[in-house]
Amino acid sequence: MANPVDLVEVWRGDLLECVHQGHAVVCDDTGQVVAAWGDPETVTYPRSSCKMIQALPLLESGAGAHLTPEQLALACASHNGAAIHTDRVKAWLDDLGLTDDAFRCGPQMPADRDARNGLIRADQRPCQVHNNCSGKHAGFLTLTKHLKAGSDYELIDHPVQQACKAAFEEVTEENSPVFGIDGCSAPNHACTVHGLARAMAFFATAGDRSDRRSDAAQKLTSAMMRYPELVAGETRACTELMRAMDGKAAIKTGAEGVFIAIIPEKRLGIALKITDGATRASEAVIAALLVKYGVLDAGHPAAQARMNPPIKNRRAIETGFMRPAAILGL
Amino acid sequence: MANPVDLVEVWRGDLLECVHQGHAVVCDDTGQVVAAWGDPETVTYPRSSCKMIQALPLLESGAGAHLTPEQLALACASHNGAAIHTDRVKAWLDDLGLTDDAFRCGPQMPADRDARNGLIRADQRPCQVHNNCSGKHAGFLTLTKHLKAGSDYELIDHPVQQACKAAFEEVTEENSPVFGIDGCSAPNHACTVHGLARAMAFFATAGDRSDRRSDAAQKLTSAMMRYPELVAGETRACTELMRAMDGKAAIKTGAEGVFIAIIPEKRLGIALKITDGATRASEAVIAALLVKYGVLDAGHPAAQARMNPPIKNRRAIETGFMRPAAILGL
């Protein structure tokens, strides 16, 4: 975690109250660094930002040939557990002839307010389908069935996870030095921020190529851009910013301050890591970089809400604001 | 925010995933720095960590002479909005002949799960009494009534806030360079981390002195230590760590990564600020410093839960851990 730079400032009144540091890399389709802040060679976990990589084997294997773009968007999602998400994932489970018990992601209270309050009012506990990763796990189960592999699809030695690891190392063009266990129990392979940006440039340029992996990458990117509401949900940065860009970029958040962007029309991939793990900062920086690279209108309310949000108190009085650090050049 | 140092590490598997930086100061009753990490002269907002300072005028004025230790603990609290808190604050309002409308803190959904779920099930919105600062505001209202001052007690020019500012500058021994508006709409005066630690050493040694302010400081500190559950609530760091220390220290969290400790038996005050504002880090550092200064047993479950917590995923699998940085010398 050496040499991060200040990327986001949090002001209250006339005093800088907090600073978020991190590393960010913009990479082109040759793997070259177009721009970087902090140290591009910092190794970190991409967490959920790499779900489109974890979905590559699902399509490359042919297991997901019948899946709809909505299902592909859900395979790449960290969703809110709203009805629009859970209804579709339940139907997907039905198609597989499986029930909630087949999941290995664990239950999670939905982030979606209506879904959460509905469970509370009914005095019900959340199921595994409510887990923000349930679409990814439906993809894992689909590949597991196709491979006729064991039910413990989340384990590192399982054919599904071995395929995910191979795809991850190939698109990042790195040998992952270490893996961690993610919130949903799947392995999460570490890479450099540069490697993650390089992988996103691979996705950004997939439409140029006709090989099986590029075809899969292009389908996944398109699905994310087409169904922003399935990739996250109402009020979330991924959804609101993708809607604002209207097909110009696919973006994805990851826990502990990670964000990526795939920008086909610019042939660029972006990856960033906030050192302290703050989501408010990763959202501000990705919005700033999307503006900087011309795919997000700085004046769009969704851009302002993430890049320069006012900080309001419990009487809605504006008490401060956040802004990208000057080093980002906005 | 110059020259913070790494204070907390967050590990996942064998990789350092996040780092939290900050400033921490331990001060004795002469105002001397006993130990410091980062820059003691960093200026920041104490946020809710200074509620015991904001309660000084309530007692010094005589307005709060009739208040119980429970009420004094609530005046210093950032509470969970549980029934144990709101029932007492409502009764306090009744005593004043006022209703929830007299508050200027704004409504807040309770952090306490039972209280929150109760509101959701009843389809009710939270009131101002649920605001974590409602005890502080009950204190403000008590002083306002005593002074026969206007109802806009949260404004900087109001006699209540002028008294709070004077007390703040006197116990920090600094002229506050700037104030911000807090989440509850009250002014929050900035000071150095050193100044905040110095103020806490004033509280720690108040029992030695017999002046009016010291008497007030001693009563507030005692009330906090006597009623840890009123200062925060179940599952919260302030409550669990004060219970574990059983009267050896009063501690208080503040938003955006602030924490203070008042340690009468060691005649020490502690203040710390996490640069990125992370609560998980401020809690880890205060627990580490309380252990370091001999008032918290490192092996106590409450100490371990804040200082070296395992990170568990949605299937309760341990995926990582947090720990204080080596520089803290534990």
pLDDT above 90: percentage of residues in chain B? 98
Closest CA relative to residue B19, chosen from A22, A125, A85, A293: A22
Option in B105, B120, B131 nearest A117 (CB): B120
B181: chain A residues, CB-CB within 8 Å = 12-13, 313, 317, 319
pLDDT mean over B74-100: 98
A126, amino acid identity: P
Average confidence score pLDDT of chain B: 97
How crowded is residue A32: how many other Cβ atoms within 10 Å of its Cβ? 11
**Contact predicate B289/B35, CB 8 Å:** no
**Contact predicate A92/A143, CB 8 Å:** no
Q: Which residues of B161-170 are buried (b: 16+ CB within 10 A; e: fewer)?
A: bebbbebbbe
Q: Domain span at residue A212? A: 5-328
Q: Please report, for residues A76, A218, A271, A283, B44, the alpha-carbon distance to residue A266 in angstroms, rounded to integers and kept in the order given.
A: 22, 15, 15, 20, 41
A12: chain B residues, CB-CB within 8 Å = 45, 180-181, 188
Q: Output the pLDDT for position A2.
A: 79
The partner residues of B40 in beta bridges, in order of sequence, read: none
Place of tokens 């009020």: A235
Alpha helices (runs of H) in B81-177, residue ranges in sequence order: 83-96, 113-121, 134-147, 159-172
> Distance between CA A206 and CA A277 in Å, rounded?
30
B180: chain A residues, CB-CB within 8 Å = 12-13, 15, 17, 319-320
pLDDT tens figures, B10-50: 999 999 999 999 999 999 989 999 999 999 999 999 999 99
Instruction: State how far residue B264 is from chain A, nearest Cα, in angstroms.
Output: 29
> Distance between CA B23 and CA B274 in Å, rounded?
7
- State the total domains in chain A: 1
Residue A287 phi, psi (nearest 5): -60, -45
> Distance between CA B224 and CA B312 in Å, rounded?
31
Option in A43, A277, A316 nearest B15 (CB): A43
Residue A297 phi, psi (nearest 5): -75, 120
Q: Please report, for residues A88, A97, A190, B218, the alpha-carbon distance to residue A77 in angstroms, rounded to integers and kept in the order given.
A: 12, 22, 19, 54
pLDDT tens figures, A46-96: 999 999 999 999 999 999 999 999 999 999 999 999 999 999 999 999 999
pLDDT tens figures, B233-264: 999 999 999 999 999 999 999 999 999 999 99
Retrieve residue B106's tokens: 């704004």
Q: Please report, for residues A82, A89, B313, the alpha-carbon distance to residue A134 in angstroms, rounded to integers and kept in the order given.
A: 12, 7, 14
Instruction: State how far residue A126 is from chain B, nearest Cα, in angstroms.
Output: 11
pLDDT of residue B183 exceeding 90, the answer is: yes
pLDDT tens figures, B88-120: 999 999 999 999 999 999 999 999 999 999 999
Q: Do A180 and B17 touch (CB under 8 A)?
A: yes
Q: Output the pLDDT for position A1.
A: 61
B12: chain A residues, CB-CB within 8 Å = 45, 180-181, 188
Q: Output the pLDDT for position A330.
A: 84
Place of tokens 């947090």: B322
Task: For residue B68, name the pLDDT band (cuts at 50, 70, 90).
Answer: very high
> Distance between CA A138 and CA A134 in Å, rounded?
6
pLDDT tens figures, B127-177: 999 999 999 999 999 999 999 999 999 999 999 999 999 999 999 999 999
Retrieve residue A228's tokens: 């922003």
Q: Please report, for residues A120, A152, A181, the alpha-carbon distance to residue A101 in angstroms, rounded to integers and kept in the order given.
A: 21, 12, 20
> Distance between CA B72 and CA B77 in Å, rounded?
9
Q: Do A315 and B117 touch (CB under 8 A)?
A: no
Place of tokens 């998400």: A85
Place of tokens 């990458």: A217
pLDDT of residue B1 exceeding 70, the answer is: no
Q: Do A276 and B44 touch (CB under 8 A)?
A: no
Option in A17, A21, A108 nearest B314 (CB): A108
Provide CB contacts within 8 A for A148, sequence distance 6+: none
For the domain that residue B113 is a member of, what is the CATH number? 3.40.710
Q: Do B313 and A120 touch (CB under 8 A)?
A: no
Instruction: State how far residue A317 is from chain B, nearest Cα, in angstroms.
Output: 8
Q: Output the pLDDT for position B330.
A: 85
**Contact predicate B51/B33, CB 8 Å:** no
> Distance between CA B268 and CA B27 in Å, rounded?
6
Option in A12, A19, A319 nearest B275 (CB): A19
Closest CA relative to residue B203, chosen from B219, B187, B226: B219
Closest CA relative to residue A26, chosen from A285, A325, A304, A317: A285
| Residue-by-residue pLDDT tens, chain A, 330 positions | 679 999 999 999 999 999 999 999 999 989 999 999 999 999 999 999 999 999 999 999 999 999 999 999 999 999 999 999 999 999 999 999 999 999 999 999 999 999 999 999 999 999 999 999 999 999 999 999 999 999 999 999 999 999 999 999 999 999 999 999 999 999 999 999 999 999 999 999 999 999 999 999 999 999 999 999 999 999 999 999 999 999 999 999 999 999 999 999 999 999 999 999 999 999 999 999 999 999 999 999 999 999 999 999 999 999 999 999 999 998
Q: Output the pLDDT for position A68.
A: 98
Taking one residue from A and the other from B, the number of pairs with CB-CB distance under 8 angstroms is: 138
> Distance between CA B225 and CA A260 in Å, rounded?
47
Provide CB contacts within 8 A for B260, sequence distance 6+: B46, B49, B50, B196, B197, B200, B251, B252, B254, B269, B270, B271, B272, B286
> Distance between CA A185 and CA A133 in Å, rounded?
10
Q: Do B18 and A315 touch (CB under 8 A)?
A: no
Q: Output the pLDDT for position B29.
A: 87
ipTM: 0.97
Q: Output the pLDDT for position B79.
A: 98
Helix (H) or strand (E) holding B301: helix B301-307
Q: Do A15 and B281 touch (CB under 8 A)?
A: no
